[in-house]
Amino acid sequence: MNKSKQKYLVSIVLPIFLLSSCQESPKQKDSFDFIVSSDLHYISPSLTDNGEYFVNMMKKADGKMEEYCEPIVNCFVDEVIASKPDYLFLTGDLSFNGAKASHIDLTKKLSRIEEAGIEVLVIPGNHDIDYPYAASYSGNSYSLVESLSKEEFASIYGDFGYKQAISTDVDSLSYVYQLTPKTRVIAFDVNAGNRKGSASASTLSWLRKSYSDAKRNGQNVISLSHQPAAIHSPLFTSSSIDPSLRIEKLYKEFEAPISFAGHLHIQDTYEDGDFAEVLTESLLVHPCQYGMAEVKEGELTYIAKRLDLASYAAKEGLDDASLSDFASYGESYFAEVNSRKLLESIESNAELSEPQKKKMSEAITKLNRLYFEGGLSSIDASAYQGEDYPWGKLPLFLSSYVSSILSNAGANKTRLFHVLTK
């Protein structure tokens, strides 16, 4: 049966099924595959000339390779289509700065994916709606441009979750989507109000009802949100959904075993008992990763994959030395932009000798990159101890950051195996 027929049957049968079922039924095993990506931060080429203002602004940011946004996102779209998964999930911060033109241009690319038979589901992030800094960039200046409202988002992205949702929330852009007859996606929008990472009492009530309904009907649930439900690092607690909402507890209560999120721009996996959460690194941050997941008979296997920009550039005939060796370019750019800020407190530290400054700077540059890309498995923590590395002489945040990375050395955050259905 083709997907449109499946969708039609689901839309006819499901409401009857929902109405008639009031008994809890056991979860059923299921099989399908999907790609998940986050924080595309797409900017329309019509909004930037990659000029002086834009480039300098990005050099003060977190390492997103915004100048190469167009080839990165186009390469991603090509790779998704070539992989032919059943679904693509995008967990927010679809746009660079909420500009309407960026959203519209991105939906054209997402339509290409749907035309290839791949269902796309999106949720907004904290940069996507009513964003006050939506701007275009030219030369050494910028101009504010139109952002978009919650209603416009639901309309523009209607084909990517909202039109076919079996339930939508009134207060936010949260929705429930029947993925297969046995599995639902519950997409939880925590950026609809003034407090980002939170939700209204009405949205929370809708969320609880949605999980309760899924459990009663024996449905497996995949949860999506922009900010994560779990605290992935004690150093970045404010980047998760407001802990007072106790969303991770709610997921566990309703036996929703897996959640996908982004927002921190790092690659990470988290497991606590039967619950797991995957953070997908921003697509624009080196090494430009996305997740490929397969659910087979109720078991999920996830692996992060790196975009192959060099092959894309060769295929498209793009004459750009950075694109042709994008892995090297990306590593250098990340070191220069993201890690550079961490090193300032070392260079000015009078307690450190010059050899110590050199060794510690090299170590932080490497450890920070590996942390972002989820590559802690390649770290040998013992190599960063001893008199060459007096971490305790650094500011508390930085020494805590290094310590948290070293204490997780050996962990592979680019892979996950998780049982969804017991």
Binding site for Fe ion (CB under 5 A): 39, 93
Shortest separation between residue 283's beta carbon and Fe ion, angstroms: 10
Min dist CB 285 to Fe ion, Å, is 9
Closest CB to Fe ion belongs to which residue? 93
In the complex, what is the shortest distance from the CB of residue 189 to Fe ion, in angstroms, rounded to a whole number? 15
Nearest to 167 by CA among 177, 158, 157: 177
Question: Closest separation between CB of residue 173 and Fe ion, Å?
Answer: 16
Nearer to Fe ion, 285 or 335 (CB): 285
Task: In angstroms, give the least distance from the CB of 168 to Fe ion.
Answer: 24
47, 40, 34: which is closest to 73 by C-alpha? Answer: 40
> Are 35 and 83 a contacting pair, CB within 8 Å?
yes
Q: What's the min distance (Å) between Cβ of 73 and Fe ion?
A: 14
The Cα–Cα gap between 175 and 167 comes to: 6
Kindly state the smallest distance separating residue 103's Cβ from Fe ion, in Å.
Answer: 15
Nearer to Fe ion, 188 or 275 (CB): 188
Nearer CB in complex with Fe ion: 66/119 = 66
Eight-state DSSP code of residue 58 = H
Residue 369 Cβ vs Fe ion, minimum distance, rounded to whole Å? 18
Q: How far apart are CA 173 and CA 83, in angstroms?
A: 29
132-146: buried (b, 16+ CB within 10 Å) or exposed (e) per residue? eebbbbeeeebeebe
State the Cα–Cα distance between residues 179 and 30, nearest whole angstrom. 11
For the chain, report the end-to-end CA distance as a whole number of angstroms.
Answer: 28
Helix then strand count (H, E) for the chain reads 13, 15
Torsion angle of alpha carbons 31, 34, 38, 43, nearest 10°?
-150
Q: Given the complex with Fe ion, which of 39 and 277 has the nearer CB atom?
A: 39
Closest CB to Fe ion among 98 and 298? 98
CB closer to Fe ion out of 39 and 373? 39
Q: Annotate 172-202 with DSSP letters as a single string.
A: SS-EEEEEETTEEEEEE---SSSSTT---HH
Closest contact distance (angstroms) between CB of 280 and Fe ion is: 11
Nearer to Fe ion, 90 or 313 (CB): 90
Contact at 8 Å (CB) between 329 and 322? yes
Of the pair 39, 105, the CB lying nearest Fe ion is at 39
- Name the residue nearer to Fe ion (CB basis): 30 or 128: 128
Q: Taking a C-beta distance cutoff of 8 angstroms, is the pair 10, 177 a contact?
A: no
Compute the distance between CA of residue 419 and CA of residue 422 in angstroms, rounded to an integer: 7
Report helix, strand or coil for 26.
coil
